[in-house]
Structure formats: C-alpha cells, structure tokens
C-alpha cells in the first residue's frame, strides 16, 4: 500500500513540475505566432566578444563604464513593429532591465548602447521594465556587475507585432551571450 501511494505521489509531483515548467519556460506574456522566427543577433562593437564583458560594459560600481553592447539584429519578421531586449544575470537569476525599440517593418536593426542606472534612453527607445538588481541606482538597464565573480550575462530579444486588442504577437526570438564578469 505504501509503495502505491509513493508511486502516485511521484507521478503527481512529476505532472505538477511539468506544468510549472511549461508556464515558467514559455513566453506566456505574449501570444506566439504559428512559426516563431529565430533572430540572428551579433555584437556591433568589436570590444564585445561574448566571452568576457569588456570594461566599457561593466557596471560603474566595479570601475566600468556601464554601457550595454550595441546589438545588430537580423532576420526580423516583416510584420514586426517592435523589438524588446531583456538583460539578465543568469548566474544570480537577476533581471537587468528591458527596453523597447519601435522598428516599423525593418529586416535588420541596430539596438544602440544604453547607459546604466538612468531613464534617459536613446531616441525612439522606451522603457519596458526597470532592472531589479540589488545594487546601483534605478534605471531601465543595469550593466553586468559581478565584479570579477565570473557571473554569466545574456540578452534575449523578441520581435513583436502589436495587435489592435493591445496583445503582442511574438514573431521572432533570439538570445546572445554577453559574457562573464
């Protein structure tokens, strides 16, 4: 009898975890198009290589310049009208901000560099979500701030189409490793 309960509990736990992962791992914030394109993302500054975060990209708290990398995004679906770039410290699971860029049907777009800890964004850029890093001042973006602990940093970019209902349709997605710091 005890083995049956244990087996049932294992099965129920597995089902619960599978459902939880489905919702946690999906882009549930957006409705997905039938075929979500893979965006091609590369650095538009030779000091960024994806291995180590350069001095210019490190937070000012650690002696850097606090600038995000300029990113070249290609393979943007033709109906996309906005790109959203989200920055994250994967090691500490800390959100480093999200910025929206209206693009009006461009097949490629350069996301400009953004200064950390400020709401002053480049022309055309709009705040999507402020960072929640536990250090630094408020702002749309917080630069990598591991101060030598070798944390992993990534950027995820989504190409969206705004619907009349206010819903955003996910048309493309890509990720780039920013490097370790």
Backbone torsion region of residue 102, taken as left when φ is above 0, otherwise alpha when ψ lies between -120 and 50, otherwise beta: beta
Averaged pLDDT score across all residues of the chain: 87
Q: Answer yes or no: are the C-beta atoms of 98 and 121 closer than 8 Å.
A: no
Task: Say yes or no to pLDDT of 161 above 80.
Answer: yes
> Looking at per-residue confidence, does 60 or 9 come out higher?
60
Mean pLDDT of 70-82: 96
Which residue ranges make up each domain of the chain? 31-180
Gap between the Cα atoms of 120 and 75, Å rounded: 28
- Residue 25 pLDDT grade (very low, low, confident, very high; cuts 50, 70, 90): very low
Gap between the Cα atoms of 137 and 132, Å rounded: 10
The CATH number of the domain covering residues in 31-180: 3.90.280.10
């Amino acid at each position: 009898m005890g083995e049956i309960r244990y087996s049932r509990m294992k099965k129920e736990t597995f089902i619960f975890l599978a459902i939880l992962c489905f919702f946690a791992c999906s882009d549930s914030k957006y409705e997905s198009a039938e075929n979500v394109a893979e965006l091609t993302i590369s650095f538009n500054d030779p000091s960024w290589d994806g291995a180590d975060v350069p001095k210019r990209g490190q937070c000012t708290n650690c002696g850097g310049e606090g600038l995000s990398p300029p990113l070249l995004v290609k393979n943007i679906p033709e109906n996309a009208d906005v790109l959203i770039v989200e920055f994250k410290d994967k090691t500490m699971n800390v959100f480093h901000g999200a910025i929206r860029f209206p693009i009006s049907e461009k097949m490629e777009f350069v996301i400009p560099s953004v200064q950390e800890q400020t709401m002053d964004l480049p022309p055309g850029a709009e705040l999507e979500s402020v960072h929640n890093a536990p250090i630094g001042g408020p702002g749309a973006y917080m630069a990598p701030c591991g101060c030598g602990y070798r944390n992993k940093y990534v950027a995820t970019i989504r190409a969206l189409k705004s619907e009349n209902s206010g819903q955003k349709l996910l048309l493309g997605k890509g990720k780039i490793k920013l490097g370790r710091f």
